[in-house]
Structure 1
Amino acid sequence: MTGVIVAVSISTSKGERKTPAPLVHVRENYGIIGDAHAGDWHRQVSLLAQESIDKMRAMGLDVNAGDFAENLTTSGIDLLALPVGSKLAVGPVVLQISQIGKVCHTRCAIYYQAGDCVMPKEGIFATVLSGGVIRPNDTIEILELAA
């Protein structure tokens, strides 16, 4: 199964929407250079499907890539079907799924606008096994499904 990267986004502070970028530099065992969520932990890169963003649009929200604080917005790949431990390739970058969903300790602006948010249920997090550059329109593919 392959998909495409719709957008790449970063932010310098946690807890805010990310800004789309023309490309991002991804460092092994670290994450996206210049992004607040990079570092030595299990959520170095976040992914969210465009299809999830479209669900929120259908609820009447004016939302776009990066608005849910995701680094990589994807299309055409079923992120929620990937078990923890699965590996993805985006060009030279290899990501390993480390977490599906997350607990939001505080409600974000999206939650207050819509009464719901997709990131806690549909956001995917990964560590970086191999670095490189990721751009919009790059192909994302499953390298290995975890058992």
Structure 2
Amino acid sequence: MTRASVVSVGLDSAHRFSKRPVDSITLLEGLGIEGDAHFGRTVQHRSRVARDPGQPNLRQVHLMHAELFDDLAALGFEVAPSALGENVTTRGVDLLGLPTGTVLALGQEARVEITGLRNPCLQIDRFESGLLKAVVGRDDAGELVRKAGVMGVVVQGGRVASGDVVAVERPPRPWAPLEPV
């Protein structure tokens, strides 16, 4: 069995679609990723700030599974880590199958609590035409499936780098499924 790990980390100080891959990122408790445009206790996503700038920032860290890139490559899309705006790219963790409130231990210190799903937007198609349809699908029951990663808040700070181990700590049952945040 492959151990769960961090494949890549990225950040960007401006509100651009893609992040810049870096060697490591520093997570600060309750705030997010130092130097990233989404850093803060209150919402930083521009459209959400316009609606209500005082709402809590449930999107401090964007995590995406590298297995999605494998699936996209099979469809003819070439997507690299951080290109879709994620801060942390993982491998070996079923991010989309985790319940709300799951805590991911990233490396030696950092811990991120999963708050919900990323809701893919039209910017994905601006990045590469047809990609939005590839990251949004339907399950066997016809329900919408969002595949573009999960969002979380920093509950314990620390440095995170590619190669770091990821440990999954699910909350007590009953589990609440992930919803878009």
With normalisation by structure 2, the TM-score equals 0.73
- 2:128 corresponds to 1:127: no
Q: Is the 8 Å Cα contact of residues 17 and 123 (structure 2) preserved in structure 1?
A: no
CA distance in 2, matches of 1:27, 1:17: 21
CA distance in 1, matches of 2:127, 2:135: 9
- Structure 1 counterpart of 2:111: 94
Q: Rg larger in 1 or in 2?
A: 2
- Structure 2 counterpart of 1:142: 168
Moved more, 56-65 or 107-116: 107-116
Q: Deviations over 1:74-97 (max 9, x none)?
A: 001111111111111012011101
- 2:73 corresponds to 1:57: yes
How many pairs align?
Answer: 146
Q: Is the 8 Å Cα contact of residues 19 and 85 (structure 2) preserved in structure 1?
A: yes
Q: Which amino acid aligns with 2:119?
A: K
Q: Is the 8 Å Cα contact of residues 2 and 141 (structure 1) preserved in structure 2?
A: no
CA distance in 1, matches of 2:166, 2:81: 16
CA distance in 1, matches of 2:132, 2:103: 33
CA distance in 1, matches of 2:150, 2:119: 8
Q: Is the 8 Å Cα contact of residues 8 and 23 (structure 1) preserved in structure 2?
A: yes
Structure 1 runs (4+) deviating above 6 angstroms are none
- Structure 2 counterpart of 1:73: 89
1:117: Cα distance to partner? 4.8
1:2: Cα distance to partner? 5.0
More strand by share: 1
Aligned CA-pair RMSD? 2.0
1:112: Cα distance to partner? 1.8
5+ residue gaps, structure 2 = 42-56, 137-144, 176-181
Q: Is the 8 Å Cα contact of residues 82 and 145 (structure 1) preserved in structure 2?
A: no
Aligned residue for 1:96, secondary structure, equals strand
CA distance in 1, matches of 2:33, 2:79: 23
CA distance in 1, matches of 2:62, 2:69: 14
1:116: Cα distance to partner? 2.5
